[in-house]
Amino acid sequence: MSRAQGPDGDARSGTDRTVEGEEASELLAALADEDCRTLLQAAEREALSTSELSDACGLPLSTTYRKVDTLTEVGLFEEQIRLCRSGKHTSEYVRRIDDVWLSLTGDHIDIAVSDRSDAERPTALSSVLAGAD
């Protein structure tokens, strides 16, 4: 796998990075969690607040806050600020990655993630331009 291509040879517009050690364990634990996977899918195309994620995924708000913290800490979510005309700004979250690759070689496991490019990630700016409050 080259830095510019995924394992299938397709060109990627984001950047790939290798994940090791404790970071790899935390990443795999987050991906193994069904609620975390559901939140990742919900935040694929648009940045959502914790409340919006909770509603979209049918999860309790307390669970959503915990899972969003986990996803942000392991680098799967990116936190952005939604600017509102009322002056009350809200944190919102968007999926930061496109792909995760796991490679087993002998007694070693390699994990690589493909970060979405800035152009591919939805931004909070779209909320302001749309007049969201």
Q: Would you state the pLDDT for residue 3?
A: 38
Provide the 3-class DSSP secondary structure of residue 39: helix
pTM check: above 0.85: no
Range of the domain at 103: 16-129
pLDDT by residue, tens only, the chain of 133 residues: 333 344 444 544 457 778 888 888 899 999 999 999 999 999 988 899 999 999 999 999 999 999 999 999 999 999 998 888 887 888 999 999 888 888 888 887 788 888 876 545 444 433 443 444 4
28 domain-assigned: yes
Q: Would you state the pLDDT for residue 16?
A: 79
1 domain-assigned: no
Spatial distance between the Cα atoms of 122 and 128, rounded to a whole number of angstroms: 12
23 domain-assigned: yes
4 domain-assigned: no
In the chain, the number of structural domains is 1
9 domain-assigned: no
11 domain-assigned: no
The CATH number of residue 118's host domain is 1.10.10.10
Spatial distance between the Cα atoms of 54 and 77, rounded to a whole number of angstroms: 15
Q: Strand 48-49 and strand 90-95: pairing? A: antiparallel
Q: Would you state the pLDDT for residue 40?
A: 95
30 domain-assigned: yes
